[in-house]
């Protein structure tokens, strides 16, 4: 079995919760003492860290948002003097000021071990040659996996981003066995190999660890088939630590969240209220071991759900489902929370990953109307009225069963939906216009 830290990953829940409570109390104390933002937050909610006598008490504290981090840019949320910080990274935000995060020496040690755990779960061992194609820089992806792989004893090939042909040459000559990249870059590599006449099955590559962006099941199977590897999904975010928050094991049935280091909660993206186990909503994370940059009830913006049943691999820690989009993309249609990615997933399943579509929301009187426009393409029977009708009805039924509200599905002529970069679906909410 591929488990690095069975003590923490397979702990009976009662013991795990006791450990979480003790670590939470220590984190709250540290944050209260050293971070003005948190001290004020405690005062506002009329709570002192000593009040936290049960994990259920966490829900009494307000949520922390990315906006709070921006207001405290760059070092306002640090809980240690800069002298104790040995590394800074920042989030990949492009437009506004990024979020700066810091690590003490011990934070780096803990982070390294968490990523080593994720990589072990994915099947990486000391016998692997790990090619890391993330950007070495402020982004947490490359350094996180780099240190994690070294801790396992694997050999790291720190190629960094770009230069795809050289990446492929290295993969061939250095006999890379594990690839670490974004799912998008794995497809770029597969395409370039095909162009160059390199047969991926002739390489030594056997596993791929993907993350930093969604890895849908369709994308996973495309990568697995084209590169001839086993692909796992890995989740993390800079504000919380980087990669090493959650990752899949060989069963690929949800990403195991390292609950000895983070407490996950699911909240309603609108009200911020905690939702019962099993619900879909926004993931909120609290760090339990971080010294330099503790995060208390941080809103990740990622929509997912949690399962607490033990996995076949033996781990007892919670598993998070693939993210279903960002809370800022959420639409409320007839009072129901709908994520465009849910509709996208239905269309990918019935039409294919290349389906071009548009989600149009409008209001007639007090009634919300939802339409999904799909561009006609090969295999969508544009000219055969009877088959077309049956197809549209089938898609309507599927969408209703997934999102819980009805949508009118229409076919539109090819190339009539405006494209935008990298994504195939777009949302037009006429209620806002
Ligand atoms: O992307 C950390 C990371 C690097 C994780 C490499 C895994 C592998 P940020 O740049 O702060 O950190 O971006 C974090 O990316 O809130 C999600 O919206 C998204 N994201 C990360 N991993 C996944 C994933 C890194 N496996 C933001 N599936 C997060 C879906 C993901 N979205």
What integer pLDDT is reported at residue 433 of this predicted model?
62
Q: How far is the CA of 213 from the centre of ligand 1 (A)?
A: 5
Residues 11 and 19 sit within 8 Å (Cβ to Cβ):
yes
Q: What percent of the chain has pLDDT over 90?
A: 78
Protein residues with CB under 6 Å of any ligand 1 atom:
91-92, 140-141, 211-215, 233-238, 242-243, 300-302, 323
Whole-structure pTM value: 0.89
- Least confident segment among 88-102, 238-252, 279-293, 414-428: 414-428
pLDDT at 141 over 60: yes
pLDDT at 421 over 60: no
Q: In ligand 1, which atom is closest to the CA atom of 93?
A: 10
pLDDT at 422 over 60: no
Q: In ligand 1, which atom is closest to the CA atom of 302?
A: 18
Question: 333, 391, 329, 341: which is closest to 366 by C-alpha?
Answer: 333
Handedness of CA 169, 174, 178, 182 (dihedral sign): negative
Q: How far is the CA of 428 from the centre of ligand 1 (A)?
A: 26
What integer pLDDT is reported at residue 96 of this predicted model?
64
What integer pLDDT is reported at residue 195 of this predicted model?
97
Question: 330, 273, 263, 336: which is closest to 303 by C-alpha?
Answer: 330
Taking only the tens place, the pLDDT of each residue in 88-140 is 999 865 556 789 999 999 999 999 999 999 999 999 999 999 999 999 999 99
Taking only the tens place, the pLDDT of each residue in 360-384 is 999 888 889 999 999 887 767 667 7
What integer pLDDT is reported at residue 248 of this predicted model?
98
Q: How many whole angstroms separate alpha carbon 128 and alpha carbon 298?
A: 35
Taking only the tens place, the pLDDT of each residue in 272-308 is 999 999 999 999 999 999 999 999 999 999 999 999 9
Q: How many CA atoms lie within 13 A of 207 on its CB side?
A: 21
Q: How far is the CA of 355 from the centre of ligand 1 (A)?
A: 25
pLDDT at 264 over 90: yes
Pocket perturbation via mutation, ligand 1, pick of 236, 245, 321 by most ligand atoms within 8 A of CB? 236
* H runs (alpha helix) in 122-173: 140-152, 164-173
Q: How many whole angstroms separate alpha carbon 333 and alpha carbon 362?
A: 9
- What residue owns the CA closest to ligand 1's atom 10? 92
Q: How far is the CA of 293 from the centre of ligand 1 (A)?
A: 18
Q: How far is the CA of 329 from the centre of ligand 1 (A)?
A: 16
What integer pLDDT is reported at residue 170 of this predicted model?
98
Pocket perturbation via mutation, ligand 1, pick of 237, 239, 255, 258 by most ligand atoms within 8 A of CB? 237
**Residue-averaged pLDDT of the chain:** 93
Instruction: Indicate the pairing of strand 367-375 with strand 357-364.
Output: antiparallel
- What residue owns the CA closest to ligand 1's atom 12? 237
pLDDT at 423 over 90: no
Q: Where are the beta strands (DSSP E) in 72-159?
A: 85-90, 100-104, 129-132, 155-157
Q: How far is the CA of 92 from the centre of ligand 1 (A)?
A: 9
Q: How far is the CA of 155 from the centre of ligand 1 (A)?
A: 24
Q: What percent of the chain has pLDDT over 70?
A: 96
Q: How many whole angstroms separate alpha carbon 336 and alpha carbon 185?
A: 35
Instruction: Indicate the pairing of strand 230-237 with strand 207-211.
Output: parallel
Q: In ligand 1, which atom is closest to the CA atom of 323?
A: 30
How far CA 209 is from CA of 204, 244, 345, in Å, comes to 15, 12, 22
Q: How far is the CA of 320 from the centre of ligand 1 (A)?
A: 13
Q: How far is the CA of 182 from the centre of ligand 1 (A)?
A: 9
Q: In ligand 1, which atom is closest to the CA atom of 300?
A: 16
């Amino acid at each position: 079995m591929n488990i690095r830290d069975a003590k923490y990953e397979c702990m009976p829940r009662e013991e795990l919760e006791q450990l979480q409570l003790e670590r939470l109390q220590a984190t709250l104390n540290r944050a209260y003492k050293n971070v003005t933002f948190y001290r004020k937050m405690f005062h506002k909610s009329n709570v002192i860290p000593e009040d936290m006598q049960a994990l259920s008490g966490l829900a009494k504290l307000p949520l922390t948002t990315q906006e709070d981090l921006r207001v405290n840019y760059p070092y306002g949320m640090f809980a240690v003097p800069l002298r104790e910080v040995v590394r800074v990274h920042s989030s990949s935000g492009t437009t506004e000021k990024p979020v700066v995060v810091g690590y003490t020496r011990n934070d780096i040690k803990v982070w390294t071990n968490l990523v080593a755990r994720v990589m072990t779960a994915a099947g990486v061992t000391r016998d692997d040659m790990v090619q890391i194609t993330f950007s070495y820089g402020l982004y947490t992806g490359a350094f996180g996996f780099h240190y994690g792989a070294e801790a396992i004893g694997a050999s790291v090939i720190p190629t960094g981003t770009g230069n795809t042909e050289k990446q492929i040459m290295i993969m061939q000559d250095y006999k890379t066995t594990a690839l670490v990249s974004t799912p998008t870059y794995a497809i770029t590599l597969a395409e370039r190999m095909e162009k160059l006449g390199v047969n991926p099955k002739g390489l030594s590559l056997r596993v791929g660890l993907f993350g930093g962006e969604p890895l849908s099941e369709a994308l996973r199977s495309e990568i697995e088939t084209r590169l001839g590897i086993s692909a796992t999904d890995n989740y993390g975010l800079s504000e919380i630590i980087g990669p090493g928050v959650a990752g899949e094991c060989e069963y690929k049935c949800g990403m195991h969240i390292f609950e000895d280091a983070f407490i996950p909660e699911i909240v309603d993206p609108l009200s911020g209220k905690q939702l019962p186990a099993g619900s879909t909503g926004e993931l909120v994370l609290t760090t339990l071991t971080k010294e330099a940059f503790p995060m208390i009830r941080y809103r990740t913006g990622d929509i997912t759900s949690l399962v607490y049943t033990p996995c076949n691999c033996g781990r007892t820690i919670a598993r998070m489902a693939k993210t279903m989009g960002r809370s800022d993309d959420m639409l409320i249609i007839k009072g129901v929370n709908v994520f465009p990615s849910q509709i996208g997933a239905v269309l990918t399943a019935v039409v294919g990953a290349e389906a071009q579509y548009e989600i149009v929301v409008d209001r007639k009187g007090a009634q919300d109307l939802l339409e999904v426009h799909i561009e006609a393409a090969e295999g969508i029977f544009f000219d055969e009225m009877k088959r077309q009708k049956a197809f549209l009805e089938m898609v309507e039924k599927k969408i209703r069963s997934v999102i819980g509200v009805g949508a009118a599905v229409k076919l539109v002529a090819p190339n009539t939906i405006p494209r935008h970069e990298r994504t195939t679906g777009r949302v037009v909410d006429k209620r806002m216009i």
